[in-house]
């Protein structure tokens, strides 16, 4: 090969490395800066609290509760958390960690981005909560309460991917997600059992079922809504619910494996 | 030989990173948690990822020494070029390793990293063979291969299907492809390798330099098929609901990668020995008129 070709090859490789470095910087910037976009934010449509309705209910699990899957935390002596996976958590036939949200029916309504941040805490080498909901562009604070280093690595389909390490006692990491995405996986590559899901929605009507499988969506304007129930393993189910002013409707559902 | 042995160890270390899903436990590259020299706390995924980086740096250093030594001491020009090629391959491999971290393990880059790793291993094994006493000093017994396709053609075909298999396996492992192309191609690989190795053993078994790698190919292929089956069972069939990589999954996949590397390198050695000892007979057609002229 002629000398000029070697120089070209070297420059190409150098260019690739520089491109990679630039890409990393860009992704960090997007993740840390609120994505205001080029369009001005639409003004929030007010909801009259006097007419606000609510939808609540219980998510059940059909059949015998699956056997809990054990976790082996022995590869890091600093990890002393509960040693069972949280993929399918059933208590007395009620299913925990189901994300419930208004998928459709709000039309063109716009909503303010909440001023308060949603929080993820890493404690006992697990994520708390295991399933989280937040609005588009809402701040997300990630804390590390463990005496070991974690890395937080969301693997989104519709948002920018990032991966940052967080040593013990480090300042909280602040991020946000610019686009709607349901069941966005977050993992720690240092502790491969650490997995959680972030749900990014455009409206404030969402909830995650508690240990009794219960949820509540409050402050809804009267209307007909598609309510989606999403589980990380068992997928999505929907129900159509109509609420009049001040209604308190119940919408129960059940999942089976 | 030292470089080749440590490269195999490096391939095992790399397989451990992937099998333990630890590829991004150190988020930065070329630094580790912002430092070039500081040793991180070697727990969890970090011990696999940083351990792999340390072994890789050592192999890089050995390759520099090897390239410089070859350049200065070797009289064979092609060997000097091979030494430089080894260095170029190891640099490319390092850059691919960095890119895959920076771009969050995209399947094509991670698969290229896996393929170049085994290419480098083959180069290191070849250098060890070419500098060996028997290769340098002994005159090779030569026997012409009359059959078609020739044994040498079969060895080249074996290397080709093994490379395809390597890429399919790496793409599946890095979540860029389903498992079935790798499994289907395993049947093709088993057929071609069996054909090649059996031809070598039955027709040229009396030439030790051909017989030994051919028997190695058969043994490694059987082992590799068994390990592939175990990896499929533990990871695809039984491991779907696992909360984390479990020991049987890790052990079977790492062994599958290591034996796969040995199989590829042994096939390359067989191809070289066949080229050296059993060249294909070339039929030279001479026109009648020319023949009469020649006589």
A147 and A223 share one domain: no
Interface confidence, given as ipTM, is: 0.78
Are residue A60 and residue A127 in the same domain, yes or no?
no
Please report whether residue A217 resides in a domain. yes
- Do residues A188 and A220 both lie within one domain? no
A64 by DSSP, 3-state: which? coil
- Looking at the 3D structure of chain A, how many domains does it have? 2
- Lowest-pLDDT choice from A34-48, B74-88, B126-140, B195-209: A34-48
Give the minimum alpha-carbon distance from B244 to chain A in angstroms, rounded to a whole number: 5
CATH at residue A222 = 2.60.40.10
Length of chain B: 295
Residue A15 lies in a domain: no
pLDDT averaged over chain B? 90
Q: Which of B40, B44, B98 sits opposite A75 (nearest CB)?
A: B44
A141 and A248 part of one domain: no
Report the alpha-carbon distance of residue A137 to residue A139 in Å, rounded.
6
Average pLDDT over residues B145-171: 92
The gap from C-alpha B184 to its chain's centroid, in whole angstroms, comes to 20
Nearest to B27 among A20, A78, A151 (CB): A151
Say if residue A211 is in the same domain as residue A105: yes
Mean pLDDT of all residues in B176-203: 94
Dist. CA A181–CA A202, nearest whole Å: 9
Average pLDDT over residues B277-289: 72
Whether the pLDDT of residue B86 is over 90: the answer is: yes
Report phi then psi at B183, rounded to 5.
-70, -40
Low-confidence ranges of chain A (pLDDT < 70): 1-43
Q: Say which residues have a Cβ less than 8 Å from residue A253's Cβ, sequence separation at least 6.
A: A57, A59, A60, A229, A237, A239
What CATH number corresponds to the domain at position A125? Answer: 2.60.40.420
Q: How far is CA A250 from its chain centroid?
A: 25
Report the alpha-carbon distance of residue A43 to residue B154 in Å, rounded.
Answer: 71
Mention every residue, 6+ apart, whose C-beta is less than 8 A from residue B89: B116, B119, B120, B123
Of A69, A77, A189, the CB nearest to B21: A189
Domain annotation covers residue A252: yes
Rg (alpha carbons) of chain A, rounded to whole number: 22
- Asked whether residue B224 carries a pLDDT value surpassing 90, the answer given is yes
* Over residues B222-245, mean pLDDT: 90
* Cβ within 8 Å, pair A163-B24: yes
Please work out, in degrees rounded to the nearest 5, the angle formed at the alpha carbon of residue B72 by the alpha carbons of B71 and B78: 35
In a domain, A13, yes or no: no
Output the six-digit token pair for B18. Answer: 């992937």
Per-residue pLDDT reduced to its tens digit, A180-197? 999 999 999 999 999 999
Q: Minimal Cα–Cα distance from B139 to chain A, Å?
A: 32
Domain C-terminal end among A162, A177, A202: A202
* DSSP β-bridge partners for residue A58: A214
Q: CA-CA distance, A115 to A117, in Å (whole number)?
A: 7
Decide if A23 and B99 are in contact by the 8 Å CB cutoff: no
In a domain, A223, yes or no: yes
Q: Tell me: do A99 and A127 sit in the same domain.
A: no
Q: Is residue A27 part of a domain?
A: no
CA distance B252 to A103: 43
Residues A163 and A219 in one domain: no
Q: For residue B98, what are its two tokens?
A: 């960095």
In this structure, is residue A11 part of a structural domain?
A: no
* Domain-located, residue A17: no
Residue A104: what pLDDT?
94
Which is higher by pLDDT, B284 or A136? A136
Query: Does B109 or B240 have the greater pLDDT score?
Result: B109
Q: At B146, is the pLDDT very low, low, confident or very high (cuts 50, 70, 90)?
A: confident
Structural domain that includes position A146: 112-202
**A83 Cβ under 8 Å from any chain B Cβ:** no
Distance of alpha carbon B22 from alpha carbon A194, whole angstroms: 12
């Amino acid at each position: 090969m002629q000398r000029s070709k070697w120089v070209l090859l070297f420059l190409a490789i150098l260019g690739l490395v520089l491109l990679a470095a630039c890409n990393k910087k860009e992704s960090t910037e997007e993740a840390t800066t609120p994505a205001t976009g080029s369009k001005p934010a639409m003004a929030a449509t007010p909801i009259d609290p006097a007419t606000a309705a609510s939808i609540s209910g219980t998510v059940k699990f059909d059949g015998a509760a699956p056997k809990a899957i054990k976790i082996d935390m022995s590869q890091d002596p600093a990890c002393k958390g509960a040693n069972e996976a949280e993929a399918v958590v059933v208590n007395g036939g009620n299913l925990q960690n189901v994300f419930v949200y208004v998928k459709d029916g709000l039309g063109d309504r716009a909503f303010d981005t909440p001023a308060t941040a949603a929080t993820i805490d890493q404690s006992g080498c697990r994520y708390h909560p295991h399933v989280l909901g937040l609005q588009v562009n809402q701040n997300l604070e990630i804390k590390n309460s463990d005496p070991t280093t974690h890395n937080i690595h969301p693997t989104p389909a519709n948002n920018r991917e990032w991966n940052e390490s967080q040593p013990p006692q480090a300042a909280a990491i602040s991020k946000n997600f610019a686009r709607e995405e349901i069941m966005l996986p977050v993992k720690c590559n240092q502790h491969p059992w650490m997995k959680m899901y972030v749900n990014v929605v455009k409206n404030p009507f969402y909830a995650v079922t508690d240990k009794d499988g219960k949820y509540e969506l409050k402050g809804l304007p009267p209307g007909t809504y598609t309510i989606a129930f999403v589980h990380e393993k068992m997928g999505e189910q929907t129900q159509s619910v109509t609420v009049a002013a001040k209604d308190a409707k119940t919408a129960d559902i059940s999942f089976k494996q | 030989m030292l470089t080749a042995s440590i490269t195999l160890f490096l391939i095992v270390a790399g397989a451990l990173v992937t099998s333990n899903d630890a590829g991004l436990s150190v988020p930065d590259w070329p630094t580790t948690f912002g430092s070039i020299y500081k040793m991180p706390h070697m727990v969890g995924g970090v011990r696999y990822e940083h351990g792999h980086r340390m072994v890789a740096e050592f192999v890089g250093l050995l390759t520099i020494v090897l390239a410089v030594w070859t350049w200065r001491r070797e009289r064979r020009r092609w060997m000097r070029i091979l030494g430089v090629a080894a260095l170029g391959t190891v640099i490319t491999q390092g850059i691919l390793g960095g890119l895959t971290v920076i771009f969050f393990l995209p399947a094509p880059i991670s698969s290229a990293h896996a393929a170049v790793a085994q290419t480098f291993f083959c180069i290191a094994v070849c250098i060890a063979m070419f500098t060996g006493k028997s290769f340098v000093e002994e005159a090779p017994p030569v026997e012409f291969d009359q059959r078609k396709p020739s044994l040498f053609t079969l060895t080249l075909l074996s290397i080709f299907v093994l490379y395809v298999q390597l890429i399919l396996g790496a793409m599946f492992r890095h979540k860029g492809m389903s498992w079935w192309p790798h499994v289907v191609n395993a049947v093709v690989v088993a057929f071609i390798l069996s054909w090649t190795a059996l031809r070598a053993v039955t027709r040229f078994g009396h030439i030790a330099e051909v017989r030994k790698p051919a028997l190695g190919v058969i043994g490694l292929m059987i082992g590799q098929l068994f390990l592939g089956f175990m990896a499929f069972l533990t990871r695809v069939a039984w491991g779907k609901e696992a909360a984390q990589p479990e020991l049987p999954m890790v052990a079977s996949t790492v062994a599958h990668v290591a034996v796969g590397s040995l199989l590829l390198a042994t096939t390359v050695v067989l191809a070289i020995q066949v080229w050296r000892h059993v060249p294909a007979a070339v039929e030279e057609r001479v026109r009648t008129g020319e023949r009469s002229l020649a006589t």
